[in-house]
Structure 1
């Protein structure tokens, strides 16, 4: 028998679908309206006065007055907000700070305002309802739903609550979902990830789970614990599990592993949430890419990634984007971020409507598990480790993620070519790993939460990197060995070509 909740879900889904289609089919007008509202709302703020918002009458005016900034460049304004000052980047004060890891500045405090908060919650809801409207599937609404996320316990700084974004969002789960939502509040508050996973397994193993949501690397760990406990496939443990919702990292490296763990295929919905805003969600099961959220208080600009580090690169709006081009995404938001570079690169898969995929980060990085490790961090880590032991001489190195090791947890694999013979590789690896954890709180959380094991060093033969560069036709000239990559192309070539010891 169909439940009342399932019956009500379909008309609600159709209503949301109409609303979404209305702005998605009028993208440029929708973005223009967002742009005008943002400028008029912030004219009397400190930032608005500093950048002469009152005389901005067009996008061209905005480009002339407001340069692209990253967090470091915007930080003088953010620091004033953190100290409790009003009307700095946006009218009044934020209601939250989403605390994230900075690559050069320690913790970052991303403001969330009463105007921006709804977009963080409504987009995820709309993603599910668009799925219902498309497929007619409401079977999952009566089952239990799990959202693997950070602790909802919030701190306070100068009267403003702060925490991880997922912990903040946990306070906004609608009442009609509370009864079906797992894990319990108490379990969600457990800080240690390994302890938390065991508690989640205890709570869910005998439940009728129908929706499972989270970052793939974290969900994989949950699935593996369930399988260890029961010796069954996830699809056999949860017979009505038929919808997987994910975001945060590229799912493709995990897809085969997940289908093996589950034992069957399930529908999935990809989300593109960030502390700075909820940018996109998958609106169609049979279309590549996620629908860019144009009606959520976010104004988008784009710069071609290959031109981004040029002097004064050209900034464009939606009307000028092209399919398949790698763009750095720049945002201005009703949380007070202005021409802000979040560091992500996107490519458009559709222009009617505007759909995107996340293609990476503008700089070399590793983020196979959401850790956002950059070149500066790995270089500093190896420098600190060799400074600690002057007998260690490194001639070259590169780093890659090992997502599916033959045993144990995933890890970062460091390929290092030494000038001399090293007696204690384990000690060196420990020093490098400690330095990386000290620099990058995301990485530290993953190590401490037992999602990753500490890094492993694979020694490269003398001349091995030179052999690699020659093999790929990049020996000499201005070509440099990439310090790190988010896939295993280089790693696999080093292994397969016998450049490693």
Structure 2
């Protein structure tokens, strides 16, 4: 795969700048092409935004996927003619893998809904530009259009709450069999249906049997989602990104997501503890180890070279290569040297809820409190419960104990009286919806970061403490 990418990219501006014609091996490649994030790649992207061809990939992009960045403002991720169909085809293949393994295919005869952003596209230097979910909508083949919900007109509504009401209007009497979307927004869809009908989703959509999701860890949402549905159904996890479709769940029984090795991408992996080093170790797929956290780097047929997408992954199988997404490389708490990551807070919450099974979550996020009004510094967990634990103090202590078991540095800080045990700030109903609305990020593919090393989100959420 790398040889093909180098050959195709050798006559681009980037290829010439980085001596692609002299690259004969992966060792050569690492010497010529440094790891970059979007900010470092931006000078090349800006030339593409001016309409110049042959910059990162041959010709001009088929699309630009717009996504928000924390340091770069709006990011424009190129999607080439070679890479564009992999986005839809991979989503299709995840469904076909499910049918092949389970033998269940009746759901394909019903209505399918994809809760996504608007398919209306703008133009940038003659290139169609929009959110990835909107671009993907244009790649859906005709044979699926007759079963697809909502209508194009409804999908184009920008206001999420207005759009959601219209989606419900169109789907309430439909034979919904597959629903796809980010879990918190699917939950919002279910909640609104229940408010209208007073019924569980299984009684509104009796043939609903498959839920497809991606973008966030499903575990914190699972209990409430299935309670809203009223029965357990099969689910398929996917790992799409604007930069490429990376993996999907190919089995209902095996752990992890199948890494797509034939999707026009050559992957590299950096051990997370080395990521911020000047010269971190870069590994190819053959060199990864099970159970180790890596930052994911991609080189793609859309012209992304040594590109850090910001995610961390861990392999659970090498035959075939299956992984789980463990968090974001820049989403961690290390205000006191503990380096707590997303995987750890999500596992701590999962284990705690197993001990308090009455508890149902809407959403949560975690931030450090370095200078509290009184007492020692601590981690503050902002949690919106749909059903609170019977004993919140016991829940808090169990949550803290579980995090201590998962992160030895956090445990040392608590044991050494550098930090006190975590604080839970319970939020009123619809707090995260109202917060996302206030940020202009309600619905679509937007999601709340699970944790952060500052209090930008926390300082907004304190307004919603119940």
Instruction: With the length of structure 2 as denominator, give the TM-score of the two structures.
Output: 0.76
Verify the 8 A CA contact 1:66 1:339 in the aligned structure 2.
Answer: yes
Summarize the Cα distance change of 1:401–1:297 in structure 2 as closer, same or farther, 3 Å threshold. farther
- Distance (Å, rounded) in 2 between the aligned partners of 1:406 and 1:268: 23
Q: Which residue does 1:445 correspond to in 2?
A: 440
**1:337: Cα distance to partner?**
0.4
Which of 440, 451, 454 aligns to 1:483? It is 454
1:290 and 2:257 matched: yes
1:404 and 2:375 matched: no
Give the SS at the match of 2:246.
Answer: strand
Moved segments of 4+, more than 4 Å: 365-369, 395-401, 484-487
**1:272: Cα distance to partner?**
0.2
**1:157: Cα distance to partner?**
1.0
Summarize the Cα distance change of 1:257–1:303 in structure 2 as closer, same or farther, 3 Å threshold. same
**1:105: Cα distance to partner?**
1.4
Higher Cα Rg, which structure: 1
Q: Deviations over 1:201-249 (max 9, x none)?
A: 1111111100000000110000000111111111111111000000011
Verify the 8 A CA contact 1:400 1:484 in the aligned structure 2.
Answer: no
Verify the 8 A CA contact 1:400 1:486 in the aligned structure 2.
Answer: no
Q: Which residue does 1:195 correspond to in 2?
A: 162
Q: Which residue does 1:178 correspond to in 2?
A: 145
Summarize the Cα distance change of 1:362–1:112 in structure 2 as closer, same or farther, 3 Å threshold. same
**1:482: Cα distance to partner?**
4.8
Q: Which residue does 1:41 correspond to in 2?
A: 8
Summarize the Cα distance change of 1:120–1:284 in structure 2 as closer, same or farther, 3 Å threshold. same
Q: Deviations over 1:113-154 (max 9, x none)?
A: 000101111100000001111111011011100000000000
Q: Which residue does 1:235 correspond to in 2?
A: 202
1:152 and 2:119 matched: yes
Verify the 8 A CA contact 2:256 2:322 in the aligned structure 1.
Answer: yes
Give the SS at the match of 2:316.
Answer: strand
Q: Which residue does 1:116 correspond to in 2?
A: 83
Give the SS at the match of 2:439.
Answer: helix
Give the SS at the match of 1:87.
Answer: coil
- Distance (Å, rounded) in 1 between the aligned partners of 2:447 and 2:3: 45
1:91 and 2:62 matched: no
Q: Deviations over 1:336-373 (max 9, x none)?
A: 0001001100000110000111000112259999x9x9
**1:402: Cα distance to partner?**
2.5
Verify the 8 A CA contact 2:181 2:213 in the aligned structure 1.
Answer: yes
Q: Which residue does 1:269 correspond to in 2?
A: 236
Structure 1: segments with no counterpart, 5+ residues: 1-33, 383-391, 408-432, 454-480, 492-499
Verify the 8 A CA contact 2:160 2:442 in the aligned structure 1.
Answer: no
Which of 286, 309, 318 aligns to 1:351? It is 318
Verify the 8 A CA contact 1:211 1:244 in the aligned structure 2.
Answer: yes
Q: Which residue does 1:166 correspond to in 2?
A: 133
Which of 43, 62, 71 aligns to 1:76? It is 43
Q: Which residue does 1:50 correspond to in 2?
A: 17
Structure 2: segments with no counterpart, 5+ residues: 334-341, 347-360, 389-431
Q: Which residue does 2:171 correspond to in 1?
A: 204
Verify the 8 A CA contact 1:145 1:212 in the aligned structure 2.
Answer: yes
- Distance (Å, rounded) in 2 between the aligned partners of 1:69 and 1:41: 20
Summarize the Cα distance change of 1:397–1:446 in structure 2 as closer, same or farther, 3 Å threshold. farther
Q: Deviations over 1:21-44 (max 9, x none)?
A: xxxxxxxxxxxxx11110000001
1:318 and 2:294 matched: no
Summarize the Cα distance change of 1:359–1:337 in structure 2 as closer, same or farther, 3 Å threshold. same
Give the SS at the match of 1:338.
Answer: coil
**1:446: Cα distance to partner?**
3.1
Summarize the Cα distance change of 1:116–1:400 in structure 2 as closer, same or farther, 3 Å threshold. farther
Q: Deviations over 1:389-410 (max 9, x none)?
A: xxx99x9786645243569xxx
Verify the 8 A CA contact 1:365 1:374 in the aligned structure 2.
Answer: no
